[in-house]
């Protein structure tokens, strides 16, 4: 059980870690194109935090991260990431609680449904707007996942450090 | 932690959901971006400019060390092209004078083609793999509005402003799936709708839909904005025809277009704040 100050401290550290990845995405990743796609770290962040903290905190973090992404990134609908990332956090929390112990392998395993949900929702929105593109969406999902998956390692390392630093008694 | 979320989790969730819905509603009903989006854009704007400055510096250094021979060859071909253009200009001046005389003779009004432009620098290219967008360093304080056109220095259409804040705006390029423009083939005068297609977006291509089934387009035909409806100026270059194919119904055709503008190399663009085109 964490005291209120410890809770605030922990979420401040998570916010700082998130900021690091926002800077990394803006300064470096979106200027790199590998296999025709830009590495995209935000679904991984929602998945990794859900993996360490569990389904409910993961969902709430996903919601906050989604709002932030919707403020900064263009999307087909205004609250796109706000709708997707809580589901990503929830999935990751459930996977780490029932299938795999939290760690690098689990982070990679949680990132797969993260990209799947995000890209599936993109395809659904395109389909609803009359721009059906399932095959192109599936191809992009494959490339985006392959190119972005290595980011699981720094994300899991950073969030693991915060988790261990703030859960000394667990 | 568990206690905190057990007691307050539902309220945190509720509050965030309310914020999300409010943002969505503000985005739908507002002509400019919602205050939070605007604030986020204003805060991140200096970072975007800083990243771009560093990236441009590195690109400049790379360009500096490029092969001089290639530049010399380009210079020679440009001199040749320049000579041809000067000859064309002399011919155009003669034609223009003749045109003015004939207009006077036929008592026609002179065509007015007046665009009010705002120069802007590109501070960010694509940010996700699902959209094709640019972020510019001009916003509402410079008179930029949603749905303003963005063009290059040669008059090639880049895209349309989709979100605008105080000192920034986001432009969806013409290959993005949310963009659709009235278009006309310059040679044949066939009308169509230039729309972004997700399958083609990765290759920087777009579609020209609703062409007649028997249209006689050729590869390389130039496609311009039609200006129909008055939303966008007419005569802006969209792209050139790459291939023409019948659509699924067989009652119409569509063409795949290559945009004239090269989005990846854009540094400076022009926002069309208002236009007055009469003939």
Identify all chain B residues contacting A52, using CB atoms and an 8 Å cutoff: none
Q: B134 near B122, Cβ under 8 Å?
A: yes
Euclidean distance between CA atoms B119 and B268, whole angstroms? 7
Question: Does the reported pTM lie above 0.95?
Answer: no
Helix or strand holding residue A16 (H, E): helix A4-27
Low-confidence ranges of chain A (pLDDT < 50): none
Name the band, by pLDDT with cuts 50, 70 and 90, for residue B1: low
CATH architecture of A4-166: Orthogonal Bundle (1.10)
The pLDDT score that the predictor gives to residue B60 is 78
Nearest to B147 by CA among B34, B224, B233, B26: B233
pLDDT in tens, A81-126: 999 999 999 999 999 998 888 888 999 999 999 999 999 999 999 9
Q: Do A122 and B12 touch (CB under 8 A)?
A: no
**Rounded mean pLDDT of chain B?**
84
Q: Cβ atoms within 10 A of the Cβ of B201, count?
A: 23
Contact A140 B20 (CB under 8 A): no
DSSP B174: T
The CA distance from B148 to B159, in Å, is 9
* B115: three-class secondary structure by DSSP: strand
The least confident of A49-58, B54-63, B221-230 is B54-63
Q: Which candidate, A63, A16, A24, A61, places its Cα nearest to that of A41? A: A24
**B100 min Cα distance to partner chain A (Å):** 47
Mean of pLDDT values over B251-264: 90
pLDDT for residue B68 is more than 90:
no
Please tell me the predicted confidence (pLDDT) of residue B136: 92
State the DSSP H helix or E strand holding residue A162, giving kind and residue range, or none if neither. Answer: helix A152-166
Tell me if chain B has a CB within 8 Å of the CB of A89. Answer: no
Number of inter-chain CB pairs under 8 A, A vs B: 120
Structure tokens at A36: 């025709």
C-alpha angle with apex B269: B266 to B272, nearest 5 degrees?
A: 150
Q: Do A7 and B44 touch (CB under 8 A)?
A: no
Is residue B235 within 8 Å of residue B112, measured between CB atoms?
no
Lowest mean pLDDT among B109-123, B175-189, B235-249: B109-123
Please give the Cα distance from A14 to A166 (Å, whole number).
Answer: 10
Give B277's pLDDT tier (boundaries 50, 70, 90): low
pLDDT at residue B20, as a whole number: 67
Q: In sequence order, what are the residues at sequence separation of 6 or more whose Cβ sits closer than 8 angstroms to the Cβ of residue B60? A: none
Token pair of B34 as six digits: 């919602």
Structural domain spans, chain A? 4-166
Whole-number Å distance between alpha carbons of A160 and A163: 5
* Average pLDDT over every residue of B148-170: 90
Tell me: pLDDT of B279 over 60.
no
More confident residue, B26 or B43: B43
> Cβ(A45)–Cβ(A21) under 8 Å?
yes
* Model confidence band, residue B7 (pLDDT cutoffs 50, 70, 90): confident
pLDDT-above-90 percentage for chain A: 65
Q: Half-sphere exposure of residue B89, counting CA atoms within 13 Å on the CB side?
A: 6
Look up tokens 């965030």; give the residue: B16
**A126 contact partners, CB below 8 Å, separation of at least 6:** A76, A132, A133, A137, B177, B198
Position B229 pLDDT exceeds 80: no
CA-to-CA dists, residue A169 to A87, A113, A160, A161, angstroms: 29, 31, 15, 14
pLDDT value for B112:
60
Judged by CB atoms closer than 8 Å, whether chains meet at B23 and A71 is answered as yes
Contact B161, B144 (CB under 8 A): yes
Position B27 scores a pLDDT of: 63
Asked if A76's CB is within 8 angstroms of B131's CB, the reply is yes
The token pair at B252 is: 């119409």
Q: Could you tell me which of A85, A49, A47 has the C-alpha nearest to residue A67?
A: A85
What Å distances lie between residue B113 and A25, A52, B144, B236, B275, CA to CA?
Answer: 42, 61, 20, 11, 8
Compare all CA atoms of chain B with the CA of A57 and give the residue at the minimum distance. Answer: B5
CA distance B183 to chain A (A): 19
User: Dihedral angle at the C-alpha atoms of B72, B74, B75, B78, nearest 10 degrees?
Assistant: 160
Chain B hits for A140, Cβ within 8 Å = 129-130, 202
A43: nearest CA in chain B?
A: B128
Confirm if B270 and B120 have CB atoms less than 8 A apart.
yes
Task: Using CA atoms of A77, A83, A89, A92 in order, give the dihedral in degrees to the nearest 10.
Answer: -80
CB B256 within 8 A of CB B205: yes
With a cut of 90, say whether residue B104 has pLDDT above it: no
- Distance of residue A104 Cα from the nearest chain B Cα, in angstroms: 24
Helix then strand count (H, E) for chain A reads 7, 0
- The helix, strand and coil proportions of chain B, stated in percent and rounded to the nearest 5, come to 40, 30, 30
Query: By CB neighbour count within 10 A (0-12 exposed, 13-18 middle, 19+ buried), where does A120 fall?
Result: middle
How much of chain B exceeds pLDDT 70, in percent? 89
How many CB atoms lie under 10 A from the CB of residue B26? 16
CB interface of A with B, residues 127-166, below 8 Å: 129, 131, 133, 135-137, 140, 144
Confidence (pLDDT) at B128? 85
Q: How far apart are CA B160 and CA B196, in angstroms?
A: 12
Judge contact between A86 and A45, C-beta under 8 A: no
Measured CA to CA, the distance from residue A119 to residue B177 in angstroms comes to 15
The pLDDT assigned to B110 comes to 61
- The nearest CA of chain A is from the CA of B128 a distance in Å of 7
**pLDDT score, position B73:** 84
Question: Nearest Cβ partner of B129 from A7, A31, A140?
Answer: A140
């Amino acid at each position: 059980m964490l005291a209120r100050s410890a809770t605030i401290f922990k979420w401040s550290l998570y916010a700082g870690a998130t900021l690091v990845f926002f800077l990394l995405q803006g300064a470096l990743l979106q200027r790199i194109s590998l296999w025709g796609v830009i590495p995209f770290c935000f679904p991984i962040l929602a998945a990794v935090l859900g993996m360490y903290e569990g389904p409910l905190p993961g969902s709430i973090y996903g919601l906050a991260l989604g709002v932030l992404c919707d403020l900064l990134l263009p999307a087909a609908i205004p609250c796109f990431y706000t709708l997707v990332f809580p589901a990503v956090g929830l999935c990751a929390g459930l996977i780490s609680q029932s299938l795999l112990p939290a760690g690098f392998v689990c982070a990679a395993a949680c990132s797969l449904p993260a990209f799947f949900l995000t890209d599936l929702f993109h395809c659904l929105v395109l389909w609803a707007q009359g721009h059906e593109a399932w095959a192109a969406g599936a191809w992009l999902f494959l490339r985006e996942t392959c190119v972005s998956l290595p980011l699981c390692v720094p994300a899991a390392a950073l969030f693991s450090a915060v988790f261990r630093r703030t859960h000394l008694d667990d | 932690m568990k206690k905190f979320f057990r007691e307050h989790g539902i309220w945190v969730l509720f509050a965030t959901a309310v914020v999300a819905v409010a943002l969505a509603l503000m985005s739908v009903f507002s002509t400019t971006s919602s205050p939070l989006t605007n604030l986020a854009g204003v805060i991140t704007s200096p970072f975007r400019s800083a990243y771009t400055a560093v990236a441009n510096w590195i690109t400049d250094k790379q360009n500096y060390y490029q092969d001089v021979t290639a530049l010399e060859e380009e210079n020679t071909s440009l001199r040749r092209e320049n000579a041809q253009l000067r000859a064309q200009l002399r011919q155009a001046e003669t034609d223009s004078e003749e045109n003015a005389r004939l207009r006077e003779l036929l008592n026609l009004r002179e065509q007015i083609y007046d665009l009010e432009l705002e120069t802007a620098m590109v501070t960010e290219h694509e940010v996700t793999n699902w959209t094709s967008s640019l972020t510019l360093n001009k916003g509402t304080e410079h008179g930029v509005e949603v749905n303003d056109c963005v063009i290059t220095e040669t008059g090639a259409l880049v895209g349309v402003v989709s979100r605008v804040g105080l000192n920034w705006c986001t432009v969806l390029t013409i290959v993005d799936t949310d963009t659709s423009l009235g278009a006309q083939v310059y040679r044949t005068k066939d009308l169509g709708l230039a729309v972004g297609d997700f399958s083609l977006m990765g290759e920087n291509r777009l579609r020209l839909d609703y062409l007649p089934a028997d249209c006689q387009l050729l590869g390389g035909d130039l496609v311009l904005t039609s200006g129909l409806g008055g939303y966008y100026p007419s005569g802006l270059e969209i792209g050139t025809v790459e291939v023409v194919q019948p659509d699924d119904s067989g009652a119409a055709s569509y063409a795949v277009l290559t945009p004239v503008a090269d989005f990846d190399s854009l540094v400076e663009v022009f926002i069309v704040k208002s236009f007055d085109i009469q003939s």
